[in-house]
Chains A and B, each alone.
Chain A
């Protein structure tokens, strides 16, 4: 479904994506995992063919560079934040995208029903809640029933209930045979939805692995957010990775996935290296399902 070869994107002197190659078969799902600035969003934009890049990307056999329209017709894209005109009414916005994708008005209504937004057609986009906006983006992505859904941190702006709804819908899409590629900060989503995980750091894929290998535990896991001084975050991440923890920096502290009964372990590991932890927060709403081996 996706074939990416040596995808490289530079912004001036910064290489945002560096020689990324991977294949994704139809019906499978892959997660892009990494801290902010790792290159996940830029890679997604390269896959969509909306920015110029070096290398080659094919979607269902169509090159995004030479046959961009055909490639994008096979993709339903859900951005991190809904990008509709605020004044637009939900029904009119859906109809515009339905016509743009060459599908009927009936299909637009069906898509809204799939994400539970039937009856809200007269509402303006600015009046929708975060969860409703994200469901609207999902409804647009599903309009032409594309075989591939690409999502850029689809739940990052949602509360726990909103996240649950989106993840549930994505699980149904997986069962329906859709191919998924998504960027996420959340281990629970990755474990629930992904067959494979591409771990990205500084624009490069440093690991092509599975959720089971990334979080090697059979015990229920929680995510603990550690607040450190900015200068020590990178060093702390290296120490924790060395100690076998799944870690990511997301600009709001250092998130570490730990077994429920060993939440203090990362703090102890950092203390041994004389790295001070200023504060700690247990993310109660992150429920990581038991990993099936």
Chain B
């Protein structure tokens, strides 16, 4: 080791820099974003989503002879199911690994020993991961839009932007749930397992459960709609369909009821439901993380 002095101008007590809350959060977000886009999962998910999105777009347009926005509408219907399957999986697993991974590697203690609060660490990591997920989705959608423009001769820009925006909101909501899982899990394997369970529950079990409940408990149509609206995936699906100026009648009596009773308020209710899924689990995660007695 070389020189003796630690600094030519010692700072002393009271002169040590204390970074602002915003600055700390931004640093963690930047680092998380860089780490995420350099990781294998980012590459894998981006390639998988892009290939599937392009595949769905291509198949939706081939052989039907339709062009322009009509073709895009069919493609969106195909993409919806793909998004509902793949995006929650991407976001839940990415979120689940974030805090549990740091904890398992022993790096969390070291990060928390820096002049930052637990909330800064959590929000910074969330923002960084959210940005990387949105990037990944944008790549998939971008290539898909290219295919649409080439095959169908054009893309309804507004409708496409709306699809991307709602998909990003769904990703943020699922990431929020993933981060909550990560905060309460001591090991990455446990967090990933819980994330997979949540994915299965949201994608498959809730749909089947709703169908079964409606038969067994003879639920009224408004109750079925309420149960569907609190499911983030169903909210996403209905929000996209409604915002494409399509009627929810395609979803049967429940959709017809929602369109008829709620009218212009329906898109807002569905967007609020999705937003609540993005905000509430993250808020709960921040609360639990801040109150945690150990690292």
List A residues at the B interface (Cβ < 8 Å).
1, 11, 26, 45, 48, 50-52, 60-61, 68-70, 72-75, 77, 79, 81, 83-85, 87, 96-97, 99-103, 107, 110, 113-116, 135, 142, 144-147, 165, 168-169, 172-173, 175-178
Contact = CB atoms under 8 A, between A and B. Distances in A.
Given A51-B293, A83-B109, A168-B1, A177 B115 contact: no
Contact of A115 (B1, B28, B294): B1
Interface of B: 1-7, 10-14, 16-19, 21, 23-24, 27-28, 31, 35, 38, 105-107, 109-110, 112-117, 291-295
A169 B1 CA distance: 7
A52 B110 CA distance: 16
Contacts of B3: 113-114
B265 to A, nearest CB: 43
Contacts of A96: 27, 31
Contacts of B28: 100
Given A100-B114, A116-B2, A147 B294 contact: no
Contact of A50 (B14, B24, B105, B295): B295
Given A69-B18, A83-B107, A101-B17, A50 B11 contact: no
Contacts of A145: 6-7, 10-11, 16
A107 B8 CA distance: 11
Contact of B16 (A26, A100, A147): A147
Contact of B17 (A72, A87, A102, A147): A102
Contacts of A79: 109-110, 113
Contacts of A45: 109, 295
B13 A103 contact: no
Nearest to B113: A77
With a 10 A CB-CB cut-off, give which of B3, B17, B113, B293 has the most chain A CB atoms: B113
B24 A100 contact: yes
A48 B113 contact: yes
A75 B19 CA distance: 14
A134 to B, nearest CB: 11
